[in-house]
């Protein structure tokens, strides 16, 4: 059997195998990738997010967040979100460029209804994210469906870097190119 | 003894304890943070880097890279680099905003001379990073001191998020404020 990293197709298959599992696997590093955005000031912002869904057919990733968070603010101005994660067991870096659609209000009501009581507590705390506090205990949960936002991130490019014992393999796959992929210098 | 995350000073002390250890601890997640930059196209870019030094007194982080890499190109246009890492054992997210100085040529000759032969092989491969290849084996190492760049990243802000069993504690420390720090809503 040939190793997955030897071919372009098998590399992309492996990425999607890892991505598909991640939302339901608490130990997967892909469940908590870093998401980078560009702030209103033009500066890079980055934070860890929880990957809630990954669908190969549509080429999308989904993340939930508080609608009042800085990342939503960033994405309202510049919709580009780039994900990055290192997968130790696969010696693999995965980077994914996306364009994020921000869904909220009536669009996410079915999602809100599907969330458990503890899960809802993450959306709608008082005061809003980032507001100064004299002490962390001043913050209180106030679950509010209006504070839930679903980021539906449409993938434009996936880039992999596999650090093999023999070779470093870097590949780039883009939607424009129908995901056929190409190798490039690491 | 009070837990480190209970106070602002002790939180910042803990971050620096972790950062200082990271360059020499292969198992530290802080040794391989994600670094986000903004591309020439205004889009966010992110990749895992290796933290080579962290100095509290000057408030800097150091990373080595190939001078021909996309990240150097990004930083030549917009010098802002944001680091992000999740530290599982501490239940802690650390985000660090910096302004990067790119050192190369004669400025990094002493560094080049201090690197081992295998370490040097990472800088100066042919063709340059990102160039298309028919196959990964077409890439070859060609160690070249002119390809070494040292990113000296001057920290402007450190933001922490501790997910405690009792409370989520988010704190922000900035150089402007002489690192005294303040709590804010998570």
Mean pLDDT of chain A: 97
Residues 6+ apart with CB under 8 A from B85: B29, B30, B32, B33, B34, B93, B94
Average pLDDT, integer, range A128-155: 97
Chain A positions touching B83 (Cβ under 8 A) are: 46
Residues of A engaging B, defined by a Cβ cutoff of 8 Å: 32, 34, 36-38, 42-48, 78, 80-84, 86, 93, 95, 97, 125-137, 139, 167-170, 182-186
Burial of A86 (0-12, 13-18, 19+ CB in 10 A): buried
CB-nearest partner of A46 from B46, B132, B182? B46
Record: contact A34-B43, CB cut-off 8 A: no
Predicted interface score ipTM higher than 0.90: yes
* pTM of the complete model: 0.97
* A·B CB contacts under 8 A: 140
| Residue B51, helix vs strand vs coil | strand
Note whether A46 and A33 are within 8 A (CB).
no
Distances (CA, A) of B7 to B12, B15, B124, B155: 9, 12, 46, 21
DSSP B132-181: EESSGGG-B----GGGEEEEEEEEEEEEEEEE-SS-EEEEEEEGGGTT--
Compute the distance between CA of residue A106 and CA of residue A5 in angstroms, rounded to an integer.
43
Instruction: For residues A145 and B29, give the distance between their C-alpha atoms in angstroms, rounded to a whole number.
Output: 35
Rounded mean pLDDT of A76-84?
98
Choose among A80, A82, A185: nearest Cβ to B130: A185
Closest-CA residue to A174 (of A166, A182, A162): A182
pLDDT at A105 over 70: yes
pLDDT at B2: 79
Question: Å from A181 to nearest chain B CA?
Answer: 11
Contact A134 B46 (CB under 8 A): no
- Contact across the interface for B46 and A37, Cβ inside 8 Å: no
Which of B48, B97, B128 has its CB closest to that of A185?
B128
Distance from the Cα of B54 to chain A's closest Cα (Å) equals 19
- The pLDDT tens digits for B60-86 are 999 999 999 999 999 999 999 999 999
pLDDT of residue B1: 62
Confidence of residue A172 (pLDDT cuts 50, 70, 90): very high
Would you place residue A2 in the very low, low, confident or very high pLDDT band (cuts 50, 70, 90)?
confident
On whether the CB atoms of residues B54 and B63 are closer than 8 A, the answer is no
Q: Nearest CA of chain A to the CA of B183: how many Å?
A: 5
């Amino acid at each position: 059997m040939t190793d997955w990293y030897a071919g372009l197709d098998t590399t992309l298959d492996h990425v999607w195998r890892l991505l598909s599992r991640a939302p339901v696997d608490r130990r997967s590093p892909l469940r908590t990738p870093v998401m980078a955005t560009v702030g209103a000031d033009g500066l890079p912002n980055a934070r860890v997010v929880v990957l809630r869904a990954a669908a190969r057919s549509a080429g999308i990733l989904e993340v939930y967040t508080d609608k009042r968070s800085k990342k939503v603010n960033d994405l309202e101005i510049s919709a580009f979100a780039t994900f990055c994660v290192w997968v130790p067991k696969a010696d693999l870096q995965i980077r994914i460029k996306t364009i994020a659609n921000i869904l909220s209000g009536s669009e996410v009501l079915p999602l809100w209804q599907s969330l458990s009581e503890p899960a809802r507590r993450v959306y709608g705390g008082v005061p809003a994210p980032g507001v100064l506090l004299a002490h962390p205990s001043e913050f209180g949960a106030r679950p509010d469906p209006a504070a839930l936002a679903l980021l539906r991130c449409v993938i434009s490019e996936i880039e992999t870097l596999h650090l093999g014992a023999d070779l470093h393999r870097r590949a780039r796959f883009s939607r424009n190119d129908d995901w056929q992929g190409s190798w490039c210098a690491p």
